[in-house]
């Protein structure tokens, strides 16, 4: 059986007065979500994260079953990979903003008036080398960019050059430990930021912008330095060949770090104008051709498709609850394309909540629905039965395969599944688990899954342990 794993970013919300004390998801007209919820099983997921609030990065990694203490990496790494830069083991990755500073380096605007085309500026800054360290840059969405420091003796133990505040002097990069590497990295990066300011200040594009009354993109604010760690691939961890369909840079980066293949979809923007129809079609196609577990030939179709939709979170950050509600309805209208998928388990949830009233991420539990479980799923026995991926052959009625858990204490633990020959079974729990009539934060509380931690979700769906 294959899995379609849909994440609606920042999905969870809180009741809003103007919506009759309903959340945007509750208030939205969502016949298709509701159908899947009533025919599938539902519950709540608590995001696992580090720090004060869940970030998309942490929330995603834990949903995919990764231990953040072991596999955590700075966001710069994911962003740089997500925009398509190649990152070496010794490289330092950073994310950055083009910004506007005055002659005293006081930050006037953190986003340089949300400048959109930064390619000429990036070109002018390419190939700068300082004390043997090369600086590589690539544009990301609008005012954002990715930066790689390439050279010897570099460290990611350096402070951010951005406190998310304007009207202060642009912060200098400081070493966060006493090592010569951290001190060296901070020094060359500070030099680069000064150098680049000189180049940007005099760049024709900025002179033109000033003439037009726009803000000059004359300084780079950098943050979240990180080094690439070798992470256990998703395929190795879960024995599934995975692909990703996403518009946003971070999500592509997460997929890349996990070794998922990126499927490019024209019109996938990571914004409200994204082409949902094209994304959904691509997701469906990615799962179409059979890819039995032991068939390692790539291109045989994917076992797992991670489909990410970002705009729900964007509306939430803007406090636009009506926009969020309407966008959820738009997603719902596009869902029927998946309803005839065979041998596919569909899961729909968010990565974290972003209540429109808070405009920031919160740790509130998120609604989740799982649709299309095989009939054998009872979850009582130690052994759970898995439906056979279409195309898989076997002489016996059942063949077993093992799913390794994380190795603990040097010993690998295995969970055994059986592959049934007669393929997937239609969902059978409509009467048994059909207490949830509407896909929403409130209704999903009643679901059979109950409240689970995000890090347990993958294992639960793979063992059909609900």
- Nearest distance in Å: CB 461, Zn ion: 20
Select 146 or 355, whichever has its Cβ closest to Zn ion.
355
Select 41 or 311, whichever has its Cβ closest to Zn ion.
311
**Is the distance from CB of 248 to CB of 142 less than 8 angstroms?**
no
Whose structure tokens read 């994204």? 274
Select 40 or 54, whichever has its Cβ closest to Zn ion.
54
Piece of 2-10, 146-154, 174-182, 441-449 that binds Zn ion (CB under 5 A): 2-10
Residue 37: both structure tokens together: 């919820």
The count of residues interacting with Zn ion (CB under 5 A) is 4
Please pick, from the candidates 23, 38, 56, 286, the single residue that binds Zn ion as defined by CB under 5 A: 56
- Nearest distance in Å: CB 61, Zn ion: 12
Piece of 290-298, 324-332, 347-355, 378-386 that binds Zn ion (CB under 5 A): 347-355
Residues 276-315, interacting with Zn ion (CB under 5 A): 313
CA dihedral in degrees (295, 64, 438, 358; nearest 10)? -150
CA dihedral in degrees (31, 37, 43, 44; nearest 10)? -30
- Nearest distance in Å: CB 59, Zn ion: 6
- Nearest distance in Å: CB 454, Zn ion: 12
- What is d(CA 408, CA 213) in angstroms, rounded to the nearest whole number? 61
Select 59 or 170, whichever has its Cβ closest to Zn ion.
59
Piece of 56-64, 165-173, 188-196, 429-437 that binds Zn ion (CB under 5 A): 56-64
351 binds Zn ion (CB under 5 A): yes
Select 26 or 313, whichever has its Cβ closest to Zn ion.
313
Select 383 or 453, whichever has its Cβ closest to Zn ion.
453
- Nearest distance in Å: CB 296, Zn ion: 32
Q: Which residues of 177-216 are buried (b: 16+ CB within 10 A; e: fewer)?
A: eeeebbbbbbbbbbbbbeebbeebeebebbeebeeeeebb
- What is d(CA 443, CA 26) in angstroms, rounded to the nearest whole number? 9
Helix 56-63 and helix 249-257, axial crossing angle in degrees, nearest 10? 40
Q: Give, as one character, the DSSP assignment of residue 438.
A: S
- Nearest distance in Å: CB 194, Zn ion: 32
- Nearest distance in Å: CB 392, Zn ion: 35
Please pick, from the candidates 9, 58, 160, 441, the single residue that binds Zn ion as defined by CB under 5 A: 9
- Nearest distance in Å: CB 316, Zn ion: 7
- What is d(CA 456, CA 57) in angstroms, rounded to the nearest whole number? 17
The terminus-to-terminus CA distance of the chain in angstroms comes to 17
Select 186 or 458, whichever has its Cβ closest to Zn ion.
458
- Nearest distance in Å: CB 9, Zn ion: 4
**Is the distance from CB of 245 to CB of 283 less than 8 angstroms?**
yes
CA 348-241-296 angle, 5° bins: 155
Nearest by Cα to 456 from 64, 70, 37, 68 = 64
Select 155 or 354, whichever has its Cβ closest to Zn ion.
354
Piece of 96-104, 109-117, 332-340, 351-359 that binds Zn ion (CB under 5 A): 351-359
**Is the distance from CB of 252 to CB of 81 less than 8 angstroms?**
yes
Select 142 or 153, whichever has its Cβ closest to Zn ion.
142
- Nearest distance in Å: CB 164, Zn ion: 13
Select 224 or 313, whichever has its Cβ closest to Zn ion.
313
Task: Write the secondary structure of 86-149 as one string of H (helix), E (strand) and C (coil).
Answer: CCCCCCEEEEEEEEEECCCCEEEECCHHHCCCCHHHHHHHCCEEECCEEEEEEECCCCEEEEEE
Piece of 48-56, 387-395, 430-438, 448-456 that binds Zn ion (CB under 5 A): 48-56
Piece of 39-47, 49-57, 204-212, 366-374 that binds Zn ion (CB under 5 A): 49-57
100 binds Zn ion (CB under 5 A): no
Enumerate binding residues for Zn ion (CB under 5 A): 9, 56, 313, 351
């Amino acid at each position: 059986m294959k899995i379609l794993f849909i994440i609606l970013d920042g999905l969870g919300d809180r009741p809003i007065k103007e919506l009759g004390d309903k959340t945007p998801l509750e208030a939205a007209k969502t016949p298709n979500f509701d159908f899947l919820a009533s025919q599938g099983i539902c519950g709540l997921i608590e995001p696992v994260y580090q720090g004060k609030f869940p970030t998309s990065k942490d929330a995603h990694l834990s949903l995919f079953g990764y231990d953040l203490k072991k596999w955590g990496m700075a966001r710069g790494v994911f962003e740089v990979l997500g925009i398509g830069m190649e990152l070496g083991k010794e490289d330092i990755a950073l994310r950055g903003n083009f910004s506007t500073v005055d002659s005293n380096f006081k930050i006037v605007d953190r986003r340089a008036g949300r400048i959109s085309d930064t390619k000429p500026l990036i070109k002018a800054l390419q190939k700068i080398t300082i004390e043997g360290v090369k600086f590589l840059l690539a544009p990301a969405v609008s005012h954002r960019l990715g930066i790689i420091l390439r050279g010897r003796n570099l460290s990611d133990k350096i402070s951010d050059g951005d406190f998310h505040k304007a009207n202060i002097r642009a912060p200098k990069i400081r070493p966060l430990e006493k090592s010569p590497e951290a001190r060296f990295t901070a020094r060359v990066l500070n030099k680069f930021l000064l150098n680049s300011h000189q180049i940007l200040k005099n760049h024709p594009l900025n002179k033109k912008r000033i003439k037009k009354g726009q803000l000059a993109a004359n300084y780079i604010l950098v943050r979240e330095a990180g080094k690439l760690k070798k992470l256990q691939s998703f395929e190795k961890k879960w024995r599934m060949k995975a692909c990703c369909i996403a518009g946003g840079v971070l999500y592509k980066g997460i997929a890349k770090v996990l070794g998922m293949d990126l499927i490019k979809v024209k019109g996938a923007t990571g914004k409200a104008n994204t082409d949902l129809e094209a994304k959904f079609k691509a997701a469906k196609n990615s799962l179409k051709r059979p890819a039995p577990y032991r068939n390692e030939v790539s291109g045989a179709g994917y076992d797992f498709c991670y489909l990410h939709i970002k705009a729900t979170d964007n509306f939430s950050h803007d406090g636009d609850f009506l926009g969020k509600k309407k966008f959820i309805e738009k997603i719902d209208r596009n869902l029927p394309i998946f309803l005839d998928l065979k041998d596919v388990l569909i899961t729909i949830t968010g990565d974290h909540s972003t209540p429109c009233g808070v405009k920031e991420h919160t740790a509130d539990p998120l609604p989740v629905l799982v649709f299309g479980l095989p009939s054998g799923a009872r979850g009582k026995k130690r052994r759970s039965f898995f439906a056979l991926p279409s195309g898989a052959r076997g002489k016996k009625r059942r063949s077993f395969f093992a799913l390794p858990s994380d190795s603990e204490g040097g010993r690998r633990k295995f969970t055994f599944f059986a592959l049934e020959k007669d393929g997937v079974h239609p969902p059978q729990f409509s009467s048994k688990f059909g207490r949830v009539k509407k896909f929403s934060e409130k209704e999903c509380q009643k679901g059979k899954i109950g409240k689970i931690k995000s890090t347990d979700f993958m294992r639960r769906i793979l063992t059909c342990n609900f």
